[in-house]
Structure 1
Amino acid sequence: MGKGRGLALAAWLTLPLGLILLVGSLLYVRSAYTAVTVRGGSMEPTYGIGRQLVVQRLDGDEIHRGDVVLFATPGRFSDQAVLKRVIGVGGDHVVCCGTGTEERITVNGRPLVEPYVKDGIADGTHRPYDVKVPEGRLFVLGDHRVNSMDSRFFATDGHQGTVAVGDVQGRVVGGPARLLGWLLCGLLGLVLAATGLGLGIAAVAVRRRRVVPPAPPWPTQV
């Protein structure tokens, strides 16, 4: 195989592979994730103001208890998307609370262990509630219970303050480092695409290079 053909074959292999990795990674990240900046203190100390977070887009049916979700409910929070933690899903029975150090939320009769709440305060508003979460809805609270506008304050909205799963835009999966693997995949694709392009240019250059014919073994002048 000639040098030009070898370079051309290498280019045909690396350039498409690089483009597939690059474009595929970018499209997947754009379609599956979004980034948000925490603008309020209702999720402290878990997520403080100014924290950059990555939110995975998914259907509300994929949400579980304990997830922190991004949602927007018409008529609440000035229609802005907010972050809250899921305490109960459809069919759950959520009850609050005791008093003082005995203050505790129960879900389906079991005390909820919440190491993430600020200062260990499970409620702090002294507003008891007893909610049977409707199917297709979520009962949500902020981690900073004394500084969070959440399901507790919309009990008379006809849905006991719960949020429709269809209002959920995604689930928090961590900070920007969460996307590092996909970004590295895209970077690898960029390198391969650039390499393939360079090999293609080199192959064309080799093919176009004029080959000087060898001198004949006999005199050419008389």
Structure 2
Amino acid sequence: MMERRRGRRRGIWAIGLLVTGSLLVLGVLVYGALAAQGTWAAYNKEIVPSQNMRPTYEPGDSAWFSMGADGEDFEVSRGDVVLVSVPEWVPDGLMLSRVVALGGDRIEYRRGETTLRLNGQPLDEPYILNRSEPSSVPFDVTVPEGRMFLMGDNRMNSADSTMHPDADQGTVDLSAVRGEAVAEPTGLIVAGGLQVLGAVLFLAGGVLGIVALVARRRQRPEPVVPAAWPAP
């Protein structure tokens, strides 16, 4: 009786593991299908090609970017690292830069000072390579509405807004943003982990089911064969 109960429990556990594993794998597949259709934001992994964003990104680093859902406008904030399309600056690709100021802001640098000034106040920028040299050239720009002022974190080696003062004072239209830098997307990590877990549970359920089936077959009683009558 005890062996029978153990075999039945194994079978129940096997069914539970098979169902749970199947649901996890199916859920991840649905998540991927929805993401591919643009229902959720898509993410791209890019290799940083240049030194303009050191030390935040070193050349050769992998960087993740939220590319947004179809038709979505990016909500850009000061301090964001963005991928932008500015053919006048980079004719053959996208540029990685940091948003320093937005429409209505006055951003300036006075030679000899150790910080930029944003709307008259010193701007704290802990992310730049050399905090004592926040710009290679002096400037004083009031950013028009709907535009942004961009600078690299490696201020002494960055082809950014400060290098293009003759075109809209170096400002760039917000529509030029193609992606926003993010940490490695949590959703992708979780989805990958759940898919692996689902596969492991499904496999474990299959093995346990086989064990339970073998155990049940062994527990079947041997057929009773009637004794033969002696020949008369």
TM range (shorter): 0.7 to 0.9
Report the Cα offset of residue 221 of structure 1: 5.6
1:18 aligned partner = 24
Q: Which residue of 2 aligns with 1:98?
A: 110
Q: Structure 1 residue 87 and structure 2 residue 95: aligned?
A: no
2:65 pairs with 46, 49, 55, which one? 55
Instruction: Name the residue aligned to 2:42.
Output: 32
How many pairs align? 216
- TM-score, reference length from structure 1: 0.75
Could you say which residue in structure 1 is the equivalent of 2:136? Answer: 124
Aligned equivalent of 1:167, options 176, 192, 207: 176
Matched residue of 2:74: which SS? helix
Deviation, 1:130, is: 1.3
RMSD: 3.6
Q: In the alignment, is residue 145 of structure 1 matched against residue 158 of structure 2?
A: no
Q: CA deviation at 1:165?
A: 3.0
- Where in structure 1 are there 5+ consecutive unaligned residues? none
Inter-partner Cα distance in structure 2 for 1:181 and 1:10? 22
The structure with higher relative contact order (CA 8 Å, sep 6+) is 1
Instruction: Point out where structure 2 has 5 or more consecutive residues left out of the alignment.
Output: none
Q: How far apart are the structure 2 equivalents of 1:202 and 1:166?
A: 61
- How far apart are the structure 2 equivalents of 1:168 and 1:152? 18
| Aligned mates of 1:74, 1:193 — CA distance in 2 | 51
**Residue by residue, what CA displacement relative to the aligned partner does 1:174-211 show, whole Å, maximum 9, x if unpaired?**
368996444433322332343345456667878999x6
CA spacing shift, 1:7–1:72, aligned 2, 3 Å? same
Larger radius of gyration: 2
Query: For 2:97 and 2:91, how far apart are their aligned partners in 1?
Result: 15
| Amino acid across the alignment from 1:88 | A
